[in-house]
Amino acid sequence: MQNNILVINCGSSSVKFSLINPTTNHVLISGLVEQLHSAHATISIKQEANKQQSHLPAPYDHLMAIKFFVEVLDDKQLTSTIYAIGHRVVHGGETYNKPVLISIAVKHEIHRLSTLAPLHNPANLLGIEAAEKALGQLPQVAVFDTSFHQSMPKKAFLYALPYELYKNHGIRKYGFHGTSHYYVAHKAAQYLNKPIETCNLISAHLGNGCSVTAIKNGKSVDTSLGLTPLEGLMMGTRTGNLDPSIIFHLVDQLGYTLDQVNTLLNKESGLKGISMLSNDCRTLEEAAEQGHDLAKLALDMFCYRAAKMIASFSVCFSQLDSIVFTGGIGENSSFIRENIIEQLTLLNISINNNANIEARFGKSGNIATSTSIPCWVIPTDEEGVIATQTHQLVAKEVK
C-alpha cells in the first residue's frame, strides 16, 4: 500500500533519508550518505534495531546517493509503499510561509533564493532533481526552514539599515530551524494542556546550530538567527552576534580576505574557536571536568549568551507558559540546561535537579520546580513534521 513518505534532507556533502508512516510517525528505515564527492563516502542504513555502515566504492553525488537508497528500498520491497516525497528546503524567503507542492516555478524560486542561502538551497535543489530522476512519478513537497518565522512583525525582522535594502534586496531576518521550533511548540502545547493558539513560549534549539524563538499565541514573533544562520547565539563553529566592525578590522588591519573572514566566522569560531579544542559539547564537558580552562570558558560563554537571548525575548510577552529546550545539546546536556536556567532567576525560573537528570537521551520532561515557569525538554522531530505536512498537502491537492 502506498502510504509512506520519503523525507529527504540534502546538505552540500551529505544526504539524509527517512521513510516514515505519517499517520503513526513510525520511521521504517533511515539512511545517511556522508562525504559526497570524496573518495571516503559512507552510507549508514538503520532499520529498527539494525544498523549497517559501509564505504562507497567511488565518489558519490546526490543523484547516486538517492539511487543507492532507492535500491536499498527496492531490495526490501519498500519503494512501492512511497506515497510522496518531502524535502527539507532551507530558504523559502518571503515567498513561502507554508509547505508547497514542487513545480517548475517552485524550483525556479528555490534557485532564485540561493543568493540568500548559497550553501544550502543549491544542495536542496540537487536533492529535488535527483529524486525526480529516481522516483519521477511521485508528488514532491518542499518544507522550508524559514516558513514558521514568516509571522514575525517588521519591528523584529528588519535590520536598522536603510529601508531600501529590505525593499529592493530582501535584506532582513528570516530565521531558521523553523520546523523544529514549530514541532516543539505544538508538543509543549500538548504537555501544557493548552490550545497552541494561546501558548506563549520561548524555545531554544541548541545543537551544532543554535537558535532561540519567541512564540506568541503559537506564532513565531522573533528569532535569533538572521538573514543567514550566523546571527544570534554562539554555536558549534559559528560566532553568533558580534560587532560588524570586527570584519573591517580583520580585513583592513590584519589582512584577511573576505573568504577567510567567511570561513573564520562560520567554521572556526563558536565553541571550537574559544576552546581551541572541539565544536562538540560532549567533548568540551569532559575536558572541562578534567580542568581544561578554555573548554570551561567556551561552555560558560555558550550558556551566558543563550540565557541572555532567552531573557531578551521576555519583552515579547506579558505572560510566559514555558521555556522549551531541544536539539542535541538542549535534549541531552543537563549541565548546559542547569547553567542557563541558573541565570534566569529574575524571570521566576528555577531548576529541579532530579527532573533535569531524568530528561535526557530521548525523554521529555518538565525540568523546572513546581513554583517556576515550566521548562520543558522536548526531543525534536523535523523529519516527522516534514512527513506529516507532505502527507497533508498531497492528500489535499493531488487528486
Instruction: Tell me, by CB under 6 A, how many residues bind ligand AMP.
Output: 12
Residue closer to ligand AMP (CB basis): 93 or 175: 175
The CA angle 329-326-155, to the nearest 5 degrees, is: 115
Catalytic amino acids?
A: 145
Q: How far is the CB of 249 from ligand AMP (least distance, A)?
A: 29
Cβ atoms of 201 and 215 within 8 Å: the answer is yes
Residue closer to ligand AMP (CB basis): 332 or 356: 332
Find the binder of ligand AMP among 226, 328, 374, 379 (CB under 6 A).
Answer: 328
Residue 208 interacts with ligand AMP (CB under 6 A): yes or no? yes
Residue 364 interacts with ligand AMP (CB under 6 A): yes or no? no
CA neighbor of 175 nearest in space, from 241, 236, 106, 229: 229
CA neighbor of 89 nearest in space, from 120, 67, 59: 120
Q: How far is the CB of 44 from ligand AMP (least distance, A)?
A: 15
Residue closer to ligand AMP (CB basis): 321 or 381: 381
CA neighbor of 385 nearest in space, from 10, 13, 20, 3: 20
Q: How far is the CB of 6 from ligand AMP (least distance, A)?
A: 21
Residue 329 interacts with ligand AMP (CB under 6 A): yes or no? yes
Separation in Å, CA 218 to CA 151, 299, 319:
10, 31, 13
Residue 280 interacts with ligand AMP (CB under 6 A): yes or no? yes
Question: Which part of the chain contacts ligand AMP (CB under 6 A), choosing from 27-35, 76-84, 150-158, 327-335?
Answer: 327-335
According to CB under 6 A, which residues from 282 to 321 bind ligand AMP?
282, 285
Q: How far is the CB of 283 from ligand AMP (least distance, A)?
A: 7
Q: How far is the CB of 85 from ligand AMP (least distance, A)?
A: 23
Residue closer to ligand AMP (CB basis): 32 or 113: 32
Q: How far is the CB of 165 from ligand AMP (least distance, A)?
A: 31
Find the binder of ligand AMP among 31, 175, 207, 384 (CB under 6 A).
Answer: 207
In DSSP terms, which residues pair with 213 in a beta bridge? 203, 223
Q: How far is the CB of 18 from ligand AMP (least distance, A)?
A: 15
What's the 3-state SS for 34-67?
ECCCCCCCEEEEEECCEEEEEECCCCCCHHHHHH
Residue nearest ligand AMP, CB atom distance: 328
- Which stretch of DSSP H or E encloses residue 272? helix 270-275
Residue 389 interacts with ligand AMP (CB under 6 A): yes or no? no
Find the binder of ligand AMP among 333, 364, 372, 390 (CB under 6 A).
Answer: 333
Q: Which residues lie closer than 8 Å to 154 by C-beta, 6 or more apart?
A: none
Question: Which part of the chain contacts ligand AMP (CB under 6 A), choosing from 77-85, 274-282, 292-300, 344-352?
Answer: 274-282
Find the binder of ligand AMP among 175, 178, 229, 327 (CB under 6 A).
Answer: 327
DSSP label at residue 377: E
C-alpha to C-alpha distance for 323 and 206, rounded to whole angstroms: 13
DSSP label at residue 193: T
C-alpha to C-alpha distance for 143 and 159, rounded to whole angstroms: 26
Find the binder of ligand AMP among 236, 270, 379, 384 (CB under 6 A).
Answer: 236
E-state strands within the chain: 4-10, 15-21, 26-34, 42-47, 50-55, 82-89, 100-101, 140-144, 201-206, 210-216, 219-223, 322-326, 365-366, 375-377
C-alpha to C-alpha distance for 346 and 350, rounded to whole angstroms: 10
Residue closer to ligand AMP (CB basis): 116 or 281: 281
DSSP label at residue 206: E
Residue closer to ligand AMP (CB basis): 305 or 391: 305
Residues within the interface to ligand AMP (CB under 6 A): 207-208, 236, 280-282, 285, 327-329, 332-333
